[in-house]
Structure 1
């Protein structure tokens, strides 16, 4: 095996790894925030809002992420230049890039899956704990912030860790919309050097190491915040 090419491509490898990490962090952080709203809408919202949240989750969970990404990039992306004034605004350098559409697509998709996880976790919180909070005079917002949501997140924590790993493994799809992530760098190396296995091995090692870091981090959080019965 020949790994001598690494010395010539290491700046691209580092840049690709950073792009991959950025996609993961952006989609997980913003997707989780959106998922909380979707889960609460399904559990405690009015009928119309509950229906909208369920329809959203069903639609995004029922279609492949690649199709969602392409619909955004090739569909919505082709309409953006028609918006008056957008090309001359400060937003244009951001919204014209494939990274923007990949981040939005990954965020919306992750939110749909995570919302279902949080919905089940919210329903799994013991009713006695919520009744105790109400007995202490907590408002609905205080009850949600101090008891219901933290307990639900703790219950769902192992599943959330698994979803983050799945999200990490989905990031190579960004390569299909011109994002120069780590897999795109491996593809470029293969085109330039005709080496197939060596670039993929580098990508594999990166993903395995990052998966170990993620699982270890979630495991430490689980140990620090045990479930109280």
Structure 2
């Protein structure tokens, strides 16, 4: 029989780690998206070395486990002597910023491919219609390519955002006390694994449900706005 008083107490303690979980996800997704825009542009660049670096970045961070990337950044950067003496070291020696860096670099690789695929999925006749109306360059991108690409890639990016929320649980291995980190501490003091992980899973489930609902509503709004404009 479930001990409801214990579950209530555990829920309150676990929710104290929710702000850190949301911070990690929000910052990582924001920084990762900005990086992904440049990476996606570089992948399509005519400049060979830049294109090669961008493709290498995508393959590296998509082809290796996120857990390994966190370990390498947190434990590996400290092995580089010039870095320890640089202005970046006060940040990179902190587990919080190492976690942000690892998560942001990881999601930037996936998001760059989402952006590239969404842009490639823009129908050619829509682009030609824009050019026929006298659009070119930035105006063509702003009025035709980017709005269509946004609708094309939003659902896939929503999945990436949900994955990133769940990926924040890996940062507990470098001492961050987000949801999973607090769950491990509670387990080590109470040895009640089942109840604690049930509550932890329920909180993650609620987060991902809210995120998926938000993206679904946004996608519906964009589709309705597009239909209204065409009408």
Name the CA distance, whole Å, in 2 between partners of 1:78 and 1:180. 25
| Partner residue, 1:82 | 84
Report the alpha carbon displacement of residue 137 of structure 1 after superposing the two structures with TM: 3.8
Contact 2:10 2:196 in 1 (8 A): no
Root mean square deviation, CA, Å: 2.4
Normalised by the length of structure 2, the TM-score is 0.87
Matched, 1:109 2:110: no
Contact 2:11 2:199 in 1 (8 A): no
Contact 2:78 2:84 in 1 (8 A): no
Name the CA distance, whole Å, in 1 between partners of 2:142 and 2:45. 14
Name the CA distance, whole Å, in 2 between partners of 1:225 and 1:98. 38
Report the alpha carbon displacement of residue 45 of structure 1 after superposing the two structures with TM: 4.5
Alignment deviations for residues 14-59 of structure 1 (CA, whole Å, 9 cap, x no partner)? 3311111111111111111211221222235433322221111011
Contact 1:117 1:159 in 2 (8 A): yes
| Structure 2 SS opposite 1:225 | helix
Matched, 1:178 2:175: yes
Contact 2:17 2:179 in 1 (8 A): yes
| Structure 1 SS opposite 2:5 | coil
| Partner residue, 2:149 | 152
Contact 1:121 1:155 in 2 (8 A): yes
Name the CA distance, whole Å, in 2 between partners of 1:38 and 1:82. 27
| Partner residue, 1:49 | 50
Normalised by the length of structure 1, the TM-score is 0.87
Q: 1:5 to 1:77 in 2, by over 3 A?
A: farther
Match runs of 1:132-147 below 5 Å: 132-147=129-144
Match runs of 1:1-229 below 5 Å: 1-5=2-6, 12-79=13-80, 82-83=84-85, 92=90, 94-226=91-223
Query: Where do 5+ consecutive residues of structure 2 fail to align?
Result: none
Contact 2:172 2:178 in 1 (8 A): yes
Q: 1:77 to 1:202 in 2, by over 3 A?
A: farther
Contact 2:151 2:222 in 1 (8 A): yes
Which one is further off, 4-13 or 123-132?
4-13
Name the CA distance, whole Å, in 2 between partners of 1:97 and 1:32. 23
Report the alpha carbon displacement of residue 113 of structure 1 after superposing the two structures with TM: 0.8
Contact 2:122 2:145 in 1 (8 A): yes
